[in-house]
Structure 1
Amino acid sequence: ESGSKAAVLGGVTTVFEMPNTTPPTTTAESFTEKLLRADGRYHCDYGFFIGACKENIASLPALERLSGCVGVKIFMGSSTGTLLIPDDNMLKEVLSSGRRRAAVHAEDENRLKERLPIRNSGGGPELHPQWRDVKTALLATERLVRLARTHRRPVHVLHVTTADEINLLRKVRDIATVECTPQHLTLVAPDCYDQLGTYAQMNPPIRNEKHRQGLWQGILDGTVDVIGSDHAPHTQAEKDMDYPNSPSGMPGVQTLLPIMLDHVNAGRLSLKRLVELTSTGPARIYGAALKGEVKVGYDADLTLVDLGL
């Protein structure tokens, strides 16, 4: 309920909730329970992802067709509970199980495990992008694109953070669409960790200026299809914990549009391009009927802004 209030206050009229909740959304029962809990409590339009895991791969074809489901979410790196598809064999099974575009968190689980000593070396959140480094992201995205093409399954690569991934994804537009977040387009390492500490900790991490500029190039040349919030709030007490015990994630849905409008006012992108990234792009990628355009017969869930503020 509070998340949908934040969405409306930030000018967001439709949200798609991720499955890494408590409990995780991985079964028809947990999906139905989420729908029942949402009924009458959401302040905007909504849909829910089903999370892929080892236990539900055989059920995914039916689960992704449930009313209210916007697709399957794949975590290639560790998240909540059993929400993990770490190796190519499991990834092949998931990708070959359906036809709808799958949304993917692309970080290589084996490399994350290998690099755990970096995370646990006694430093602060500045270690986060060293642990979850550029290669961790690129390896996973390369694996994903290769297998998606083999199994003819369109994929949507979420919260891309590296110039290297943008360069790869620019060449595979036929099979992969791309999301970036305002956080990765606005904050930059190491400054964000010096100034914000664990409040800047998220997965994948905020990276240096080279990669921020690479993301902006993807915005400008059309490689990036969507701006997403990656809304993952925690309590202040949780975020104030010392790294690495502090949870990753930050709020995003209420600040997405104001931050991106600031970038418009600064001349970094056009208002037309922002509309593509926040309205027509998401509607196209997720097949949201009667959404994303100002047209006769479409939902009139409009956001009015004063660009002079």
Structure 2
Amino acid sequence: MSFDTASAVAARRADLLLTGGTVMTPNGAERIDVACANGRIVALGDLRLDWSAESTLDITGLHVLPGVIDSQVHFREPGLTHKEDLESGTRGAVLGGVTSVFEMPNTHPLTLWQADLQAKLDAARGRAWCDYAFYIGGSAVNAEQLDSLENLPGCAGVKVFMGSSFGDLLADEDEVLRRILRHGRRRLAVHAEDEARLRERKALVEASGDVRQHHHWRDVKSALRATQRIIGLAAETGRRLHVLHVTTADEIALLAQHKRRVTVEVTPHHLTMHAPDCYERLGSFAQMNPPVREKHHQDALWQAIRDGVVDVIGSDHAPHTREEKARPYPQSPSGMTGVQTLLPLLLDHVNAGRLSLQRLVDLTSAGPARIFGIEGKGRIALGFDADLTLVDLAAQRCIRNDWIASRSGWTPYDGMAITGWPIHTVVRGQVVVRDEELQGTPRGQTSRFLEAPVLA
């Protein structure tokens, strides 16, 4: 605890005092107050008589969650800022109750080297509304340097694309993957689709031009084959894995056998939409990689959440403009907005009885902090960062395109009625969203990691 924070505790004076809410602590839901000073949580309990504060927020009727961490977003900066940038992406994040993000390396230029990472950190400073870190791409060109690159301040870890990428970022050969896996200790995040099979099968959709064939082109075998390969290579090299956006019942059955070293992410769109309905309604605006699949695969993902196989829910926020998405399939790009709707969708699933609030906290806060080793985040406890997401479980809202902060300006959930909504967002003790409205100026900082050097 810093001197300033210790002084605040001794004086029983907070920068921000939250009173009257239900707080989701490691003990479960508790009717307690929360005091924040110098960016951290300094007291929990019945504080109204003994504590004073510069600002007090009466949150009667609301639930206080640990700040939501979205560990997979594509904010497109640098190089693709016509569809998203770090300011608009993080603005959408906090409006949706997200307090930290991990951003992906498939920008222009690719994030492969220290200079690429530093350029993103420089671009985020003074412009990001929430805290942030950036992945380094694992590649044939930097494999031997990854053990030092992954420990740079501001690096969320290494991300490998086994498919659905381009140039130096595509790592689809076993020998390249072995080199990447052997150089580093932190958990390796992977997009597992088999590139060779995708190339072999692309003629199917080039001939039909029918987006309803998207999940048949990028079929179950393409996902399962890649996941089997990377699990085997990771076991051979002794590396921990994090398999992103898992979509199939077949992969879930496999991953359940490897949980000691492999963690699992699923996404809100795979939990909320299913084929063929989504393609009938949305066309290429439902197009994602890996694809949205049939209902029985979605059911398997929900069962995996109930069974504890899933560790994280990330949005895979990957915006494109409406004009780009409206191109004839398969020239239309894969990807959709998601960071701003991640929590509203999950709260709606809570209200529908598919997900408990405690499990939501584990999947979006405690889980990401635990498996990535994020310092000071992921739980409401003394000494932790005062990152807090305050939600009204009974609030009824309708998701609309005009609510979306992304520069792309659309969501596949336009018109969807939701029960449960983020009301206030607090990042390190600063209220950045109050009563659903943005407050102040961007104050996001670089996230710190337990296995990496920290910024001075």
TM-score, normalization: structure 1?
0.99
Contact 1:21–1:80 (Cα < 8 Å) also in 2 = no
- 1:146 has 2:242 as partner: no
Partner of 1:110: 196
The alignment covers a number of residue pairs equal to 309
Q: Which moved more, 1:236-245 or 1:8-17?
A: 236-245
The 4+ residue runs of structure 1 with deviation greater than 3 A are: none
Contact 1:231–1:251 (Cα < 8 Å) also in 2 = yes
Pick one of 305, 310, 321 that aligns with 1:235.
321
- 1:169 has 2:251 as partner: no
Q: CA deviation at 1:62?
A: 1.3
User: How far apart are the structure 2 equivalents of 1:143 and 1:241?
Assistant: 33
Letter in 1 for 2:326: D
Partner of 1:8: 94
User: How far apart are the structure 2 equivalents of 1:254 and 1:121?
Assistant: 36
Partner of 2:290: 204
C-alpha distance after superposition, 1:120-155 (max 9, x if no partner): 113221111111100000000001111111111000
Q: CA deviation at 1:80?
A: 4.1
- 1:194 has 2:280 as partner: yes
Q: Highest relative contact order (Cα 8 Å, sep 6+), 1 or 2? A: 2
- 1:287 has 2:381 as partner: no
C-alpha distance after superposition, 1:252-296 (max 9, x if no partner): 100000000000000001000000000000000110011000000
Does the C-alpha gap of structure 1 residues 80 and 7 become closer, same or farther in structure 2, counting only changes over 3 Å? farther
Partner of 1:52: 138
User: How far apart are the structure 2 equivalents of 1:81 and 1:126?
Assistant: 28
> RMSD across aligned C-alpha pairs, in angstroms?
0.8
SS in 2 for 1:121: helix
Pick one of 285, 301, 306 that aligns with 2:387.
301
Partner of 2:120: 34
* Larger-Rg structure: 2
Partner of 1:75: 161
Identity, in percent, stands at 60
Letter in 2 for 1:14: S
Unaligned runs of 5+ in 2: 1-86, 396-456
Q: CA deviation at 1:27?
A: 1.1
Q: How does 1:265-280 map to 2 (within 5 A)?
A: 265-280=351-366
Contact 1:24–1:80 (Cα < 8 Å) also in 2 = no
User: How far apart are the structure 2 equivalents of 1:101 and 1:273?
Assistant: 22
Contact 2:264–2:312 (Cα < 8 Å) also in 1 = yes
User: How far apart are the structure 1 equivalents of 2:261 and 2:394?
Assistant: 39
Contact 2:164–2:289 (Cα < 8 Å) also in 1 = no
SS in 1 for 2:91: helix
User: How far apart are the structure 1 equivalents of 2:171 and 2:165?
Assistant: 10
- 1:17 has 2:91 as partner: no
Q: Considering fraction of residues, name the structure with more helix.
A: 1
C-alpha distance after superposition, 1:14-39 (max 9, x if no partner): 00000011221011111111111111
SS in 1 for 2:158: strand
User: How far apart are the structure 1 equivalents of 2:322 and 2:271?
Assistant: 24
Unaligned runs of 5+ in 1: none
Partner of 1:222: 308
Q: Considering fraction of residues, name the structure with more strand.
A: 2
Letter in 2 for 1:30: D
SS in 1 for 2:169: coil
User: How far apart are the structure 1 equivalents of 2:325 and 2:108?
Assistant: 18
Contact 1:19–1:51 (Cα < 8 Å) also in 2 = yes
